[in-house]
Chain A
Amino acid sequence: MRRSYLFIPGDVPRMLQNLDVFDADAVIIDFEDGVHPDQKEAARQLTRAFLKHHATRDVAVFVRVNAWEEAAWFQEDLACLSGSPLSGIVLPKAHPKHLTDVVFALEEAGLPMQIVALLETPEVFFHALELAKHPAVSGLLLGGEDLTQALGVPRTSAGDEILFARSTLVYAAKAFNKEAIDTPFTTVDDRDGLLADAHKANALGFTGKAAIHPNHIHDIHVAFAPSVEAIETAERILRRSETLKSMRFSLDGKMVDKPVVERARALLLRAAASRRR
């Protein structure tokens, strides 16, 4: 599970050249909304050349292609990326009704069958399970800005307006053991706001969070890393479970049962993975 997905515009050479120094677990090279229509071809050529000539260190590379409905751009994106060493694509305006065609197009282009579905319309949240169930979909990503625009409501720092979408997405992704990726925090220089937003996403069950600025990556990782106290508690639960050879016991006056033990084990695995990165 990746904690961070960093959006990088495909038409900015300096950002591309440094995409593996920002410490994100994954980057999303953007061909869609972050690139002006006049620059889309430049972004394609630049990205293709970059991926061909530069090995990237310790980072999964995705491309947010243009939406399936933008047929010409979508086809040109995939044709240009054909054979590139990508981890997968991010599919904007994702909808289950397009998935078969998208998978076929990926196959034709010789691209890996790994799709991060970007959910950004109100309707698609009622099809989230279908998206998550599809074997080519590796994760669901919430597009909070487009969604609230479609809902006709302002984005707020509290995020009540996207709570249903967040929870729906998490439930669908978790039902099929897929990644649940939260929408980016869009204020660049509000560290407290970012940390609060990322902590909330972690608490809701997201496995990671997207970012629109490299300076957000560190704090996202901080928010998604298990706390020292949580690690210590998890270690004590597992030690006690092993000592008693039981998954049902009392610790600090609280009952521990099988889900709690398994959650402790998962938390320690996540902590170990964080340290390795």
Chain B
Amino acid sequence: MPVFYKTLDACLDALPLQSGMACSFHHHLRNGDGVLNQVCAALEARGMRDLHLYPSSIFPVHAPLADMIRRGTVSHLTTSYINGPVAEALGEGALKGTLRMQTHGGRARAFKEGDNQVDIAFIAAPAVDRDGHASGTLGPTACGSLGYALSDVAHARIKVLVTDHLVDTLDTPQIDGAAIDAVVVCESLGDPRGILSGTTAPTRDPIGVKIARQAIEVMDAAGMIYEGFSYQSGAGGISLRATQLLEQSMVTRGVQASFFSGGITGMHARMLAAGRVQKLYDVQCFDLEAVKSLASHPDHHAISADAYANPANPERIIKNLGTVILGATEVDLAFNVNVTTDSYNTIIGGSGGHADTAEDAALTLIVTPLLKARIPIVREQVTTMTTAGAHIDVIVTERGIAVNPRRKDLMSKLQAAGCDLVDLPSLLARAHALSGPPKTWESKGRKIGIVEGRRGEIIDTLFGKVAIP
């Protein structure tokens, strides 16, 4: 039975705090999260230094963390995604210690295998009952699934729930109070508007629409739309359009999918309600409609990051995944994909589940315009490796579809279906014909961190931001 505290300070008074300790956070509150900022500010006020943070992701709302890094309050960072001012600070080389970028599945594995050692997990919990059970589907800051927090609950030495919504009893908690040491009741976990920032509308941009249509044509030609198939896509505009087109194709054929997995949107929830798919395996909700569905639909299941994508978990959901549609910031001639940095080394994201799903899915599609803001996406070599080309099957652009040569089976199916196939060097040439070749830099800058593969292996190095001449 956890101890309940009326303030964060009262809880911190009771915890064995020390400089150099490791604290973890989850990102289900996304760009509305107020918990990481509150806790870190309180720790800094108590003179803590050299903290090692393990937030599952970092968003622009975590801007105060940038200065804490510069001041040395935070010296080490292990995470799966970084976007915003913290990335800027890291690019400046402000972090004194190590920066490790992990995949979502790799983070779960690292907790389980002891690679990630966390002293205190501060877990934002939208609703907590009197026994310390927690749920993400209730309360003013309801965010749905708490899938990424469950590794922290299972493996951190001390587990603290932070909530702004106490209830008597939770019927279907996602976190068992028996595992929790303390509960802090605060005024607010954050800004609900930012929590729901994960999804966009299906793109209406003609290039995005064409790419989405081609992606579904590739799925069709590859024989991946059939009774009982499975599917995952992101919440970006092209992915949502692809999912919309997939639904039309499913209706035409009269087929039902077995499951959709990963981040879940209202569109997925509507397809579940309409009987297009049997189950949703939800590791994070991207919008309120998905949250409501998780709270009410019996076949909408919240799952942990471990159950979702831990490569060491033989029962992981994505091991049975048919098709995944993913994005890219850069793609190179070896089919390697970068979604971690831009071409100037600035961190703009991270793997999340990219490398996990790419490796496990039977068919991995990358959807991307050939140019973004007049910069070619296809390059001779990616600036940063996020996902190895060995795990990418097809790259779909508006100017052609490239199939990984190791997938000769796919090549012949797509050729037979009349898909607009092209090899990557030709796509590169097309991009350069439109925009000119991008500038390159001799100096890579200072080393600022590493990119880990799913199993903890180092797959690339992160460098400081390149000064544009």
Contact = CB atoms under 8 A, between A and B. Distances in A.
Interface in A197-226: 213-215, 218
Contact of B434 (A17, A23, A275): A17
Contact of A275 (B204, B399, B418, B433): B418
Interface string A216-248: 001000000000000000000000000000000
Given A214-B206, A215-B206, A275-B418, 10 more contacts: A18-B398, A21-B207, A21-B210, A21-B399, A22-B206, A23-B210, A189-B204, A214-B209, A214-B210, A218-B213
A97 interface: no
Q: How large is the interface on B (under 10, 10 to 19, 20 to 34, 35 or more residues)?
A: 10 to 19
Q: How large is the interface on A (under 10, 10 to 19, 20 to 34, 35 or more residues)?
A: 10 to 19
Contacts, number: 24
A54 interface: yes
A18 B206 CA distance: 10
Given A189-B204, A215-B204, A275-B418, A22 B434 contact: no
Interface in A59-118: none
Contacts of B204: 188-189, 215
A247 B399 CA distance: 45
B434 A21 contact: no
Contacts of B209: 214-215
A32 to B, nearest CB: 21
Contacts of A275: 418
Interface in A19-73: 21-23, 54
Interface in B200-222: 204, 206-207, 209-210, 213
A214 B209 CA distance: 9
Nearest to B433: A54
A22 B418 contact: no
A215 B207 CA distance: 9
A213 B206 contact: yes
24 contacts: A17-B434, A18-B206, A18-B207, A18-B398, A21-B207, A21-B210, A21-B398, A21-B399, A22-B206, A22-B210, A23-B210, A54-B433, A54-B434, A188-B204, A189-B204, A213-B206, A214-B206, A214-B209, A214-B210, A215-B204, A215-B206, A215-B209, A218-B213, A275-B418
A25 B376 CA distance: 26
Most buried by A among B207, B210, B213: B210
Most buried by B among A23, A54, A218: A23
A22 B433 CA distance: 18
A195 to B, nearest CB: 12
A54 B329 CA distance: 25
A189 B418 CA distance: 27
Contacts of A23: 210
Interface in B410-438: 418, 433-434
Nearest to A213: B206
Nearest to A18: B207
A18 B204 CA distance: 15
Contacts of B418: 275
Contacts of B434: 17, 54
A218 B204 CA distance: 14
